[in-house]
Each structure stands twice: as C-alpha cells, then as structure tokens.
Amino acid sequence: MTELNGEWLTYPAESVDNDKTIIVTIRTDVEKFRKDSHFIYRVTVGLPYAGDAKGMPDEKDSAIIEQVTEAFDVTFKKDPIGVMTEISTGDDRREWVFQTRSLGIFNKKINEALASLPLLPLEFDAEEDPDWELYTEALPTE
C-alpha cells in the first residue's frame, strides 16, 4: 500500500455530471508549500478507466493506479519540485493534483516517475493558481 507523506483527509463527493460517488483525498498539511510563492502552477494528471456500475476501478485498474500513485509519491518525496495535494477516484477516472514550481521540470519528473510502467492514456491539465484557489475550494467545509 502506498504511504503518502503528509496528512490527508478523505471524503465522498458527487460527480457534477451524474450522481456517481467520487472519493476525494486531500492533503491538509500544505502550509509550507502555500507560503512559498514559487508553487504557482496547478497540474492535474488524469487516468480514465472503464469503471464498474458505480464508476469505480476494477482490480486490474486499481493495481495500475496504486503503482502510479506510489511512483509519484516516491519521486516527489525525493525531489519536491511539486507537491501532491489531491487524489480523486470515481466516475471512471483517477486524478492526481499537484502544485508545482516549474511545468518543465515537473514534466521531466513525471516522465521519470512513470518510466518503469506501461504506457498509460494519461491526460494533463495545467493552469496558474498562485493563490491555491482551486485547492481551497476542494477543502470540505464541515
């Protein structure tokens, strides 16, 4: 099982497109990264999969997802150019969300992390979010 460094909170959410449950895990001990004005980019790495009736991965997809998560955790623990802030699973998709200092170096680290894994249909989205607004929106309000 992956041991993600940091403190994490997990909660259920609903897909905006349907009523399927998405399990969200968000890192809560990120203040030292938020205070660093260089962590201005938010990168989402998505992995679509053919989910069950509830949108959750089967055993085979879960094993790949676990390997990717472990690879990201190990890579960014060694070189904290980026910090994993969120993980969500459900509605036929896994997403890992990072805040990073540099898109170019982050891209190199992602490639290093995944080098030993089979080619995956990953989808990437990057945007400037210097105030971590999207992270703040993902925090549970209760």
pLDDT of residue 15: 86
Q: In total, how many domains does the chain have? A: 1
Here the CATH number for the domain that contains residue 53 is: 3.30.70.100
> In Å, what is the CA distance from 100 to each residue of 27, 40, 89, 135?
15, 6, 21, 13
pLDDT of residue 142: 61
User: pLDDT (tens digit, 9 = 90+) per residue, 68-86?
Assistant: 999 999 999 998 899 999 9
Alpha helices (runs of H) in the chain, residue ranges in sequence order:
31-34, 59-78, 103-114, 133-138
124: in domain: yes
72: in domain: yes
119: in domain: yes
2: in domain: no
Residues with Cβ within 8 Å of 105's Cβ and at least 6 positions away in sequence, in order, are 81
12: in domain: yes
User: pLDDT (tens digit, 9 = 90+) per residue, 7-49?
Assistant: 999 999 988 888 899 999 999 999 999 999 999 999 999 999 9
d(Cα 52, Cα 43) in Å, to the nearest integer? 27
Mean pLDDT of 125-142: 92
- For residues 86 and 95, the answer to whether their CB atoms sit within 8 Å is yes
pLDDT of residue 1: 39
Quote the domain boundaries for residue 81: 8-138
1: in domain: no
Name which of 72, 75, 95, 69 is nearest 15 in CA terms: 95
24: in domain: yes
Indicate whether 3 pLDDT > 80.
no
Could you tell me which residues are beta bridge partners of residue 104? none
3: in domain: no
**Amino acid at site 127:** E
